Structure 1
């Protein structure tokens, strides 16, 4: 298979490819730095990458991919037990890291290669033996239902997803992307770093997200912003007091949110202040990207758009039968099929078999409805967000959006718990704007009933100081217990 990054050899050599803070590399410099490192790792099956938000991480992953070697990104915030599981499972031959970085046990036990971004060797020749199915990355899932599983992502999945997004977002080499996402997840690494490099464009990583950095980079020529809902929520909060931020966002070509649903209330606040609409896309580790609102389509808040080119998507009932009516109300599990899918869970043939139907559709575990025009609206996870109450199938996501429209609610999560009469009752977990005077339980229940339907109102409201979240800003509902 040809190089995933043609611009390394055929693009404008002097164009900036990567910028992290005040450190940057042109395409010529990236190719020269990746060349010696690709030669060093060539021939191994897998190498670990200590995925700090630095130039070295990007160079390490590019070198591995050019050598036809699978990279295993490691989260620097992971504990010793989780790191031990990942290393035992993936058995990387080496760990690539920035010089001077202290590696914790058990990572420190691996043979280490320091990434020299100032090296000036020969540009790496793409590995001739790398096929479309050759593993490119092994990315570990969050492990909410057991030890993390390593999703083996082949080269064709990366190429298919990034090329489909180029079509959907009109993404070209003229685009300059800014983001501050971690580099051990698909969003920050594949979309946020490999995406611009495949297009021959540029990426500016903030190192650490801040609205001042977003404004600075968008004012300085960046055209696109990638973020997660937590980031856009902070932007929405800052906009009323920061006209410079509003102006910078208003000049962007594309604002994209992903990894979790962006509340409609934040959509509306950002649009009102900037004139821009944030578009959402939907993907996961095992599938990379499945759907997106298109740059030339209707930016409909609360939806994740339509299937990307090459991706088949269907909704199914609990018995696996396809849902054929696009009525915006019928809830089903999303299943997908296409070149964007992972190959397997490393060393887990049982889990791999269970993840696919007999005819090759991947069971995402995400629940959604489809509008008559094909737009997809996620309502939650099958395991934690589908609530069966009084004979209805209810998605937690729409109730959360309704709660966030109440002026007294800062954050909200919705779960279900057993109920002798209803089967499950709806429980709202609310972080109030004013902890000393939270909105009353009945007031919130009536608020939801008026906006949605009476059977979707919360039967119980529990007040918290904060909601538990992971590194990507997703609410960890399994940590919400009575």
Structure 2
């Protein structure tokens, strides 16, 4: 198929077990055969969700969707009931694809949402159809992003955008079929799924997914190219022996949040490699990246726009700002990787684009005279980046407010050496009943996802507000 020539051409078949996830391997022919069986079962469906665990079954399910032209909706395994119900109904998914050996308790929770679950088996085989395969213009994936308020929004991603992004990144990182990519990132986000799974299948390189991104797993994999988020790299630097084992790689890539300078420096000291940082969003895929051939990569610099992408820096009034290395403005992007609009959200789509077609990232950046970008913060305080995840504060606040013992809630991200940011919630309890910190943390984990739970709950008598009644999050903890 057009999207995955590295898989379809057989270039990845030069190695036994071209795809390894959590210690299990699958060659090209077996992968295509099992995915063909999935494709034949779901053909014609408006959309199919995937229980996106770190497994070969997830890879087969996603590939089956691509082969059939059915949009795939990858969903985190720990997604809570309310969030899951929203994603399934909003996306139009009519079934859930899941490995037959996934945890029974979780499957029971998913089944309660009323969408049938179809088992994915590696032993099921089907000959691929000989007719035309889906082109690149249709929706390949529907990814859900938290944003800053309300429920997650669906982001339709076309095969053409994925192809453009992966080809440009292959150019930027000198990524070839001779590489072995290693990572342990979730298979329901851009980083782990699009770059980390579809990337090797398009380029033809070998993939070793470690199941969980442990220092020991990365050290054992013997890769040439490694992907990680700051939390992963931080933990690897705390295990010097595992870090030193990566010194044989040619490139370490970090993304999803800013890599702290101390982690960058420790990683370089232990491996001899300067990490390459990159920047992107669910709506845009990866748009800016440090290059493999730039030996002067430095902390905080995410590189230059990749081929097919343009960026600009603007003031709050929308005026163009200089690329002088000091002036801060909002980063806006346009190009081949940018989505067309949110699923069923015309108002949100209109608000996200300028009149002349640039996507408003909401991130603040500085651009140096040579075009190197540095992301310096968020235009609002309501998008939290923790452990590589982008988490909307409003979503967590809504989950807290759903608890009968909570009267008011405000959520912020505070700096954390390991996670990048940790979620802290300020809660005004309802006078009618007492509630414990752990009870509220567990409640959010059940309703949303485990990684969206607050790490700390602070009980207060009131929240600081301005004259319009809006919570002053910059004053939290100071009054």
TM-score under structure 1 length normalisation: 0.78
Rounded to whole Å, the distance in 2 between the matches of 1:141 and 1:104 is 25
Unmatched runs of 5 consecutive residues or more in structure 2: 386-411, 419-444, 457-471
Q: Deviations over 1:387-439 (max 9, x none)?
A: xxxxxxxxx99xxxxxxxxxxxxxxxxxxxxxxxxxxxxx9956699xxxxxx
Match of 1:53 in 2: 54
* Residue 279 of structure 1, aligned match among 273, 276, 285: 276
Match of 1:356 in 2: 353
Match of 1:19 in 2: 20
- Paired residue total: 400
Rounded to whole Å, the distance in 1 between the matches of 2:382 and 2:369 is 23
Match of 2:159 in 1: 155
Match of 2:6 in 1: 7
Judge conservation of contact 1:67–1:127 (CA < 8 Å) in 2.
Answer: no
Rounded to whole Å, the distance in 2 between the matches of 1:184 and 1:480 is 35
More moved, 292-301 vs 168-177: 292-301
Rounded to whole Å, the distance in 1 between the matches of 2:175 and 2:27 is 19
More moved, 11-20 vs 41-50: 11-20
More moved, 12-21 vs 50-59: 12-21
**CA separation of 1:428 and 1:184: change in aligned 2, threshold 3 A:** closer
Judge conservation of contact 1:31–1:124 (CA < 8 Å) in 2.
Answer: no
**CA separation of 1:313 and 1:472: change in aligned 2, threshold 3 A:** farther
Match of 2:434 in 1: none
* Residue 125 of structure 2, aligned match among 117, 120, 124: 120
Unmatched runs of 5 consecutive residues or more in structure 1: 387-395, 398-426, 434-467
Judge conservation of contact 1:17–1:197 (CA < 8 Å) in 2.
Answer: no
**CA separation of 1:474 and 1:164: change in aligned 2, threshold 3 A:** farther
Match of 1:40 in 2: 41
Rounded to whole Å, the distance in 2 between the matches of 1:77 and 1:140 is 14
Rounded to whole Å, the distance in 1 between the matches of 2:205 and 2:170 is 12
Judge conservation of contact 2:2–2:136 (CA < 8 Å) in 1.
Answer: no
Match of 2:82 in 1: 81
Q: Deviations over 1:66-125 (max 9, x none)?
A: 111110011111111111111111121211000032324354522222111122321355
Match of 1:441 in 2: none
Match of 2:237 in 1: 236
**CA separation of 1:197 and 1:305: change in aligned 2, threshold 3 A:** same
Judge conservation of contact 1:66–1:125 (CA < 8 Å) in 2.
Answer: no
Judge conservation of contact 2:148–2:382 (CA < 8 Å) in 1.
Answer: no
**DSSP 3-state at the match of 1:3:** coil
Rounded to whole Å, the distance in 1 between the matches of 2:22 and 2:78 is 21
Judge conservation of contact 2:259–2:300 (CA < 8 Å) in 1.
Answer: yes
Greater RCO, 1 or 2 (C-alpha within 8 Å, sep 6+): 2
Q: Deviations over 1:281-311 (max 9, x none)?
A: 0011000010000001231221100000010
Rounded to whole Å, the distance in 2 between the matches of 1:432 and 1:369 is 23
Q: Deviations over 1:186-212 (max 9, x none)?
A: 111001111011011111111112111
Structure 2 matches for 1:134-145, cutoff 5 A? 134-145=138-149
**DSSP 3-state at the match of 1:305:** strand
Rounded to whole Å, the distance in 2 between the matches of 1:198 and 1:38 is 18
Structure 2 matches for 1:204-353, cutoff 5 A? 204-218=208-222, 222-239=223-240, 242=241, 245-297=242-294, 298-323=296-321, 325-353=322-350
TM-score under structure 2 length normalisation: 0.78
Judge conservation of contact 2:141–2:157 (CA < 8 Å) in 1.
Answer: yes
**CA separation of 1:362 and 1:188: change in aligned 2, threshold 3 A:** same
**DSSP 3-state at the match of 2:166:** helix
Task: Give the alignment's Cα RMSD to 1 decimal.
Answer: 2.9
Q: CA deviation at 1:21?
A: 2.5
Structure 2 matches for 1:56-205, cutoff 5 A? 56-101=57-102, 102=104, 103-108=107-112, 109-123=114-128, 128=133, 130-205=134-209
Judge conservation of contact 2:215–2:243 (CA < 8 Å) in 1.
Answer: no
**DSSP 3-state at the match of 1:105:** helix
Rounded to whole Å, the distance in 1 between the matches of 2:290 and 2:32 is 33
Rounded to whole Å, the distance in 2 between the matches of 1:475 and 1:174 is 42
* Residue 373 of structure 2, aligned match among 370, 373, 376: 376
Judge conservation of contact 1:379–1:385 (CA < 8 Å) in 2.
Answer: no
